[in-house]
């Protein structure tokens, strides 16, 4: 239970975690257009888990450092930079692995055509992009609060 609370905390409070979640969801969706072997799919999942896990560790390091001191300290700066660097490095390698596994121009083009040939599919895809952008930028808590306030305003009328 505590582990889920930790993941949820990072999703609510860390924009970069929300970026990783959104990219993961789109990546997993797009892999459905490929015939990836179990080994290739496993490699992709391992890279996703590595990036998200390191983002969780980075969040923990940042919070512990902030607990110690909110004033500038060279060692705190190093700890935060190193943990953020670990996420950056893993993310870069994850992108490289995804490119190696998924770089098939014909399949990529078929994905574009599939989503653009139907106005309904195109609209739905653009809507998911808008929702994903809102999720990343304002976060799930503020999205929920804004939705609640909309419903409360409509009930008062």
> How far apart are alpha carbons 87 and 55 in whole angstroms?
6
Give the domain ranges of the chain.
Answer: 2-156
pLDDT for 155:
65
pLDDT per residue as tens digits for the range 65-79: 999 888 889 999 999
Task: Going residue by residue through the chain, which has 157 residues, state the pLDDT in tens, using 9 for 90 and above.
Answer: 899 999 999 999 999 999 999 999 999 999 999 999 999 999 999 999 999 999 999 999 999 999 988 888 999 999 999 999 999 999 999 999 999 999 999 999 999 999 999 999 999 999 999 999 999 999 988 888 887 787 776 666 5
pLDDT for 154:
63
The CA–CA distances, whole Å, from 35 to 40, 100, 104 equal 10, 14, 11
pLDDT per residue as tens digits for the range 80-102: 999 999 999 999 999 999 999 99
Q: Assess contact for 65 and 76: CB atoms under 8 A.
A: yes
- State the catalytic residues: 55
pLDDT for 157:
55
- CATH number of the structural domain 2-156: 1.10.287.3610
pLDDT for 156:
60
pLDDT for 53:
98
Q: Which of 135, 141, 126, 127 is nearest to 22 (CA)?
A: 135
């Amino acid at each position: 239970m505590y582990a889920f609370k930790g993941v949820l905390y990072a999703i609510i409070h860390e924009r970069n975690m929300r970026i990783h979640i959104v990219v993961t969801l789109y990546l997993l969706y797009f892999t459905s257009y490929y015939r990836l072997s179990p080994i290739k799919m496993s490699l992709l999942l391992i890279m996703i888990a590595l990036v998200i896990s390191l983002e969780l560790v980075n969040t923990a390091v940042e919070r512990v450092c902030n607990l110690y001191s909110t004033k500038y300290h060279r060692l705190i700066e190093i700890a935060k930079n190193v943990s953020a660097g670990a996420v950056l490095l893993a993310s870069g390698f994850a992108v490289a692995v995804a490119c190696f596994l998924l770089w098939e121009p014909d399949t990529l083009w078929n994905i574009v055509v599939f989503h653009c040939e139907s106005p309904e599919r195109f609209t739905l895809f653009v809507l998911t992009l808008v929702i994903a952008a809102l999720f990343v930028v304002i976060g799930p808590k503020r999205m929920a609060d804004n939705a609640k306030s909309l419903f409360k305003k409509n009930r008062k009328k």
